[in-house]
Amino acid sequence: MSLIFGQLVIGPPGSGKTTYCNAMSKFLEKIGRKVAIINIDPANENMEYIPKADISELIKHEEVMSVYGLGPNGALMYCMEFLETNVHWLISKILDFKDCYLIIDCPGQVELYTHHKAVSNIAEKLGQNLVRLCSVQLIDSHHCSDPGKYLSSLILCTTSMLQLGLPHINVMSKLDELVKFKDRLDFNIDFYTEVLDLRYLLEKLDEHPLTAKYKKLNAAFVSLIEDYSLVSFIPLDVSNEALLLKVKNAVDKANGYIFGGNEPKDVQTLLACAVGATSETEKMSTIDSYF
Taking the C-alpha atoms of residue 171 and residue 224, their distance in angstroms, rounded to an integer, is 21
Q: How far is CA 171 from the centre of its chain?
A: 6
Q: What is the pLDDT of residue 7?
A: 98
The pLDDT score that the predictor gives to residue 277 is 47
In sequence order, the 6+-apart residues with CB closer than 8 A to the CB of 56 are: 39, 42
Low-confidence ranges of the chain (pLDDT < 70): 1, 262-285
Extents of the domains making up the chain? 4-199+230-288
Q: How many CB atoms lie within 10 A of CB 139?
A: 26
Strands 53-54 and 4-10: unpaired
Share of the chain above pLDDT 70, in %: 91
Q: What does the pLDDT read at residue 268?
A: 52
Query: What is residue 271's predicted lDDT score, i.e. its pLDDT?
Result: 56
The pLDDT value recorded for residue 281 is 46
List Cβ neighbours of 76 (8 Å cut-off, separation of 6 or more): 42, 43, 61, 107, 109, 112
Stated pTM of the model = 0.91
What are the residues facing 102 on neighbouring strands? Answer: 6, 36
pLDDT for residue 264: 55
Q: How many CA atoms lie within 13 A of 35 on its CB side?
A: 22
Structurally, what CATH architecture does the domain formed by 4-199+230-288 represent? 3-Layer(aba) Sandwich (3.40)
**SS3 at position 39:** strand
Q: What digits encode the pLDDT tens for the residues 46-96? A: 889 999 999 999 999 999 999 999 999 999 999 999 999 999 999 999 999
